[in-house]
Structure formats: structure tokens, C-alpha cells
Amino acid sequence: MNNIEQTLSIIKPDAVERNLADDIKDIFKKNNLNIIDAKKIHITKDEASEFYKVHQSKPFFNDLCTYLSSGPIVVMILEGKDAIKNYRKIMGATDPKKADENTIRRLFGISIDKNSVHGSDSTENAKKEIDFFFKN
Ligand code: CMP
């Protein structure tokens, strides 16, 4: 069965700032993740806090929201077979030092905070995250 899914990708400020968006988009295309919508935006800290609210009890929450709102980001809807799992595999572990070779975070991430990309972790969160950025 073809399990065609959509997932949300964010290219974070550290990667946008280093002009890595096109390199990252090339990796999506090579891995059969089609970009069906994309926009470059600069969100406020309040918007970042709303987006990351599942992490609000974590010690890193404040820094995380300050960081995501510190510069432009590129948000995208990716679509393809098993897109959620496929994207998480090519993204690599949250901490770039622990990510497998040739994953996006291993190639481009600087630290656990500046890890270049975000991706949805489940079908439910993919829908919520896509709606957050793309439903008006
Ligand atoms: P992301 O996949 O965007 O989801 C939450 C982010 O919190 C994560 O990537 C990291 O960039 C950031 N973060 C900072 N510290 C930690 C930590 N100790 N564990 C997990 N995520 C962290």
C-alpha cells in the first residue's frame, strides 16, 4: 500500500542564515519528499512558544523559543510515501553529534539548539503543525 503522508519541515535560523535552504531542499527531492508549499517567515517569540508548547515544561523551552524567533525560517509541507518516518530518518537525531552520517543534522547542525531543521514526529502532530503555519 502507498502510504502517502504530509509532514511539516522547518529550516531553522542557523541554516537559513548560512544559505543552506537550497542544499536542504535538494536532499528532500533526492529522497522523494515533494515540497508542496513553502514560505520564508520571521515569527515572534509568542508564536514560537505556541508552536513548541508541548515542550513548555522543559528547561530549554525559553531558549528554544528565543532561538526560533531570532531570524527568518523556511516552513514547508513535504509530501511522499511514509513522509513522516522518511523525513525523520534523513533529518537524523536531535543532537547533531549523535546523528548518523549524511543526515541533515549531521551535515549541517551546529548544536542541539542550532540543529538546522525541525520535523513532525507523528501523524497527529504533522496535521497540527501544518495547520499552525498554513491554515491562515
Ligand atoms: P526540534 O526537533 O525542533 O524540537 C524541539 C527542539 O528543542 C529540538 O529540535 C532541539 O533543537 C531543542 N532542544 C534543546 N535542548 C534539547 C534537549 N535537551 N533535548 C531535546 N531537544 C532540545
Q: What CATH number corresponds to the domain at position 125?
A: 3.30.70.141
Residue 132 has pLDDT above 70, yes or no: yes
Residue 55 is a catalytic residue: no
Domain limits at 102?
4-134
Residue 2 has pLDDT above 90, yes or no: no
User: From start to end of the chain, where are the E strands?
Assistant: 4-11, 34-41, 73-81, 117-119
Residues with CB under 6 A from ligand 1: 55, 60, 64, 94, 112-113, 115, 118
Q: Place 136 in a pLDDT band, splitting at 50, 70 and 90.
A: low
Burial class (CB in 10 A: 0-12, 13-18, 19+), 29: exposed
Gap between the Cα atoms of 86 and 83, Å rounded: 5
The CA radius of gyration of the chain, in Å to the nearest whole number, is 14
Note the pLDDT of residue 111.
Answer: 98
25-65 pLDDT, tens digit per residue, is 999 999 999 999 999 999 999 999 999 999 999 999 999 99
For atom 20 of ligand 1, the residue with the nearest CA is 94
58-102 pLDDT, tens digit per residue, is 999 999 999 999 999 999 999 999 999 999 999 999 999 999 999
Q: For the chain, how many structural domains are there in total?
A: 1
Please report, as a single letter, which amino acid is at residue 102: N
The neighbouring-strand residues paired with 77 are: 8, 37
Find the 3 Cα to ligand 1 centroid distance in Å.
Answer: 28
Note the pLDDT of residue 134.
Answer: 98
Note the pLDDT of residue 82.
Answer: 98
